[in-house]
Amino acid sequence: MAHIDRLTEKVVRGLASRTSRRSLFGLLGGLLAGAAGLPLLPVAKGAEPVNPSDPISGKTPPLPTGNPQDPGDQRSCDYWRYCAVDGSLCTCYGGTVNSCPPGAEMSPITWIGTCRNPADKRNYIISYNDCCGSVPWGRCNCQNNNGDRPVVRPQSSNEVTWCFGTESQSYTCTVAIILGVAIDQSKK
């Protein structure tokens, strides 16, 4: 123990003989000035989801449309446009129902089906575009299969990852874009 005391005293005395109190103030001033500049440094906010999942519950807050003609929660698998989504919802990654989240690219090759809008009871043609990029999928899983066909008919199967024609083939999430109102072909 006495050995440690002697060693500490030697180091502190040596330090005191080599430095002044002014140098301490200089060091502290430099640290304060540097800390003020830290928030100005560039931050890759685009890589972070704007609406991340709640880390405790694993759920996301709802995202109601606010439009009675397009009713529902766009972060819920029950939202009418998602009737044939098989994957993750882009609204849970900082994207929208029509656009990919930051860091993901929309595939030009799509799966297209129809869903019934509960507000006007009409069927709408919906394009399910996969968003592809480095962000891993898994948030807001949604497994709806209206009009889905087995993968032996790949052009009609929503099990297939449609990341074709994009730089990345890694699936992130799916958007649901309205292409138009469907005509009722059962009447012909």
Catalytic residue among 78, 80, 86, 111: 111
Residue 83: count other Cβ atoms within 10 Å of its Cβ: 22
By CB under 8 A, is residue 156 in contact with another protein? yes
By CB under 8 A, is residue 151 in contact with another protein? no
CA distance 60 to 173: 15
Strand, coil or helix: 60: coil
Closest approach, Cβ 56 to another protein, in A, equals 39
What residues numbered 157-176 form the site for another protein, per CB under 8 A?
Answer: 162, 164-165
DSSP string, 74-87: TTSTTSGGGTT-EE
Closest approach, Cβ 131 to another protein, in A, equals 16
Q: Pattern 80-119, binding to another protein, x per CB under 8 A?
A: ----------------------------xxxxxxx-----
Cβ neighbours for 151, distance < 8 A, ≥ 6 positions apart:
157, 159, 160
Closest approach, Cβ 117 to another protein, in A, equals 16
